[in-house]
């Protein structure tokens, strides 16, 4: 057995180091690390398991050697049990000629390809383990050598540097984005809203001069539309000012929920926000908000036969209020006070110290209003 890497292996290592350091997107870097490690030691299968914040299990698992159909057939990805977990508990290189004979083996799930030889190496970033490289089965059928191990350890050092570089680049981009958000928010407030106000005031001053009923109706509608636009711009300014480093965005999750509901409705709901949604709505209240909107939209899809739905979220005056208005067949008196869906909405409102009202909409359809205090007791 050779204990020194040959020229060809060293060239592979150098090429690998240059390759993984050539990108600044973290996910791309992680995928490149796995692919490079597999090529470096002629492995058939490779994976990079990323540790979660507790450093006790795997939160992400990036693989090479198993196609997408194979991944779906396997099902739930590993979380770090058995031999994979050994590197989590004791982060140092681990090489096994036959992992099936190890006492800590956990076994393969159904549809998982058979694997024999194993090489695992931790990846550290700033002295803290970020994740682990797992390699299985050399293409030649031989077991991994000590040279293979040293090559992958060297690659892991370069991988840690590349990961940190990608993280730093991401944070720089985030801070630049925050500066852009602040600038846009100032422009919206100082220029756009002021102009809209001026136009609205001008139209209101003109109302008393208009004698034609049709013209008066059109101007009045335009004033109402301007008022709605100002509120929407204010909501956008709230979100721009309250932007933080990446985390949960209630606004984005709510938009995704409504987009998903469109498949059952047959059309996209119109969604409006008013107030600082992301900063005022905490995790618990957000879960209630999503459940209420999902239930209300589901009821519309099942019973209303509607052609349009408008959903508005209002965070003002210490309350969160959800309006779901459709143009369907109208409210069934039996469903206004009963039915599991309505009961769920009432229960969530009552538990949060709020209220639920379901009323007919002028011109046909139904209006659901669910309102709860934001500063509710926990």
Copy the structure tokens of residue 61.
């698992």
Q: Decide if pLDDT at 369 tops 90.
A: yes
Architecture of domain 250-373: 2-Layer Sandwich (3.30)
Backbone phi and psi for residue 325, each to the nearest 5 degrees, phi listed first: -120, 130
Q: Decide if pLDDT at 331 tops 80.
A: no
Spatial contact of 38 and 19, defined as CB atoms under 8 Å apart: no
How many angstroms separate the CA atoms of 192 and 137, rounded? 62
- The predicted structure's pLDDT at residue 97: 92
Q: Decide if pLDDT at 320 tops 80.
A: yes
How many angstroms separate the CA atoms of 27 and 62, rounded? 9
- The predicted structure's pLDDT at residue 378: 46
How many angstroms separate the CA atoms of 226 and 201, rounded? 10
Higher pLDDT, 335 or 332: 332
| 173-209: pLDDT as tens digits | 666 566 676 677 777 767 777 777 778 788 888 878 8
- The predicted structure's pLDDT at residue 1: 44
Tell me what the pLDDT averaged over the chain comes to.
Answer: 81
- The predicted structure's pLDDT at residue 239: 65
| 120-171: pLDDT as tens digits | 999 998 888 899 999 999 999 999 999 999 999 999 998 888 888 887 777 6
Write the class of the CATH domain 7-171: alpha beta
Confidence band, pLDDT 50/70/90 cuts, at residue 108: confident
C-alpha closest to that of 181 among 78, 278, 322:
278
Backbone phi and psi for residue 174, each to the nearest 5 degrees, phi listed first: -65, -45
Q: Which residues are registered as beta bridge partners of 138?
A: 43
Confidence band, pLDDT 50/70/90 cuts, at residue 259: confident
Give the end-to-end CA distance of the chain in Å, rounded to a whole number.
Answer: 65
- The predicted structure's pLDDT at residue 337: 47
* The model's pTM: 0.48
- The predicted structure's pLDDT at residue 103: 75
- Mean pLDDT, residues 298-318 taken together: 88
Rank 55-59, 119-123, 267-271 by mean pLDDT and report only the highest: 119-123
> How far from chain centre, in Å, is Cα 13?
35
Q: Decide if pLDDT at 268 tops 80.
A: yes
| 61-107: pLDDT as tens digits | 888 888 878 877 777 767 767 788 888 888 899 999 998 888 777 66
* Spans of all domains in the chain: 7-171, 172-241, 250-373
Radius of gyration of the chain (CA): 29
- The predicted structure's pLDDT at residue 358: 92
């Amino acid at each position: 057995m050779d204990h020194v890497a040959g020229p060809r292996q060293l060239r592979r290592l150098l090429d690998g180091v240059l390759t993984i350091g050539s990108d600044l997107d973290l996910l791309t870097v992680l995928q490149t690390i796995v692919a490079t490690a597999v090529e470096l030691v002629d492995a058939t299968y490779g994976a990079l398991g990323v540790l979660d914040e507790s450093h006790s299990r795997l939160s992400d698992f990036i693989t090479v050697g198993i196609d997408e159909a194979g991944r779906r057939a396997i099902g739930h990805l590993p979380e770090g049990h058995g031999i994979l977990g050994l590197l989590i508990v004791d982060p140092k290189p681990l090489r096994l000629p036959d992992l099936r004979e190890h006492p800590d083996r956990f076994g393969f799930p159904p549809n998982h390809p058979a694997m024999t030889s194993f090489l695992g190496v931790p990846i550290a970033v700033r002295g803290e383990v970020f994740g682990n490289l797992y390699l299985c089965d050399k293409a030649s059928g031989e077991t991994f050598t000590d040279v293979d191990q040293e090559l992958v350890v060297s690659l892991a050092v370069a991988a840690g540097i590349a990961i940190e570089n990608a993280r730093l680049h991401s944070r720089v981009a985030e801070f630049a984005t925050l500066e852009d958000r602040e600038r846009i928010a100032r422009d919206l407030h100082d220029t756009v809203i002021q102009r809209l106000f001026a136009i609205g005031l001008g139209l209101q001053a003109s109302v008393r001069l208009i004698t034609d009923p049709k013209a008066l109706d059109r101007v009045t509608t335009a004033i109402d539309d301007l008022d709605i636009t100002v509120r929407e711009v204010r909501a956008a300014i709230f979100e721009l000012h309250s932007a933080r480093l990446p985390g949960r965005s209630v606004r984005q999750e709510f938009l995704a929920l409504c987009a998903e509901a469109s498949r059952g409705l047959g059309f996209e709901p119109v969604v409006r926000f008013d107030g600082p949604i992301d900063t005022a709505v905490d995790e618990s209240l957000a879960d209630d908000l999503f459940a209420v909107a999902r239930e209300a939209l589901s009821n519309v899809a099942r019973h209303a036969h509607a052609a349009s739905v408008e959903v508005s979220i209002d965070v003002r005056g210490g309350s969160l209020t959800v309006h779901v208005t459709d143009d369907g067949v109208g409210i069934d008196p039996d469903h206004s006070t009963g039915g599991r869906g309505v009961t769920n909405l009432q229960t969530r409102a009552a538990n949060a110290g709020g209220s639920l009202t379901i009323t007919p909409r002028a011109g046909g359809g139904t209006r659901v209003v669910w309102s709860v205090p934001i500063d509710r007791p926990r």
